Amino acid sequence: MTEPVSVFTDQFQLNTSPYGATLNFMLTDPVPPSPGTAPKIERQATVRMSLEHLKVMTFIMLRSVKGYESQTNTNIQIPMQMLNQMGISPEDWDACWR
């Protein structure tokens, strides 16, 4: 049996189709790129799953983060600039975390 892969990522890409979902996890090069060039990004792992698995996994992760925040009496803050870059409206974000 092969050893499990353990990686750190700072970016992801999600692709869905009627046949399932593909999640690509990437890592940005720590060396800043030259002005006018795109940062180097290396794919670390690809995970494929059914849409049903993705939906249940999404629910479990959301519940887990909400539970962590409740148990530790904290609120993990996401900068508005980051939400804007991902096209997530404040209304959609707030509805997700109620």
What pLDDT shows up at residue 4? 86
Tokens 């939400």 correspond to: 83
Kindly tell me the burial class for residue 60, based on how many C-beta atoms sit within 10 Å of its own C-beta (0-12, 13-18, 19 or more).
Answer: exposed
Q: Average pLDDT, whole number, for the chain? A: 93
Tokens 């890592």 correspond to: 27
DSSP track, 32-69: PPPTTSPPPEEEEEEEEE-HHHHHHHHHHHHHHHHHHH
Kindly tell me the burial class for residue 67, based on how many C-beta atoms sit within 10 Å of its own C-beta (0-12, 13-18, 19 or more).
Answer: exposed
What pLDDT shows up at residue 68? 97
pLDDT digits (tens, 9 = 90+) for 35-83: 999 889 999 999 999 999 999 999 999 999 999 999 999 999 999 999 9
- Whether 3 shows a pLDDT value over 90: the answer reads no
DSSP-derived letter for residue 86 is T
Amino acid at 33: P
Q: From 7, 22, 98, 86, select the one nearest 53 (Cα to Cα).
A: 22
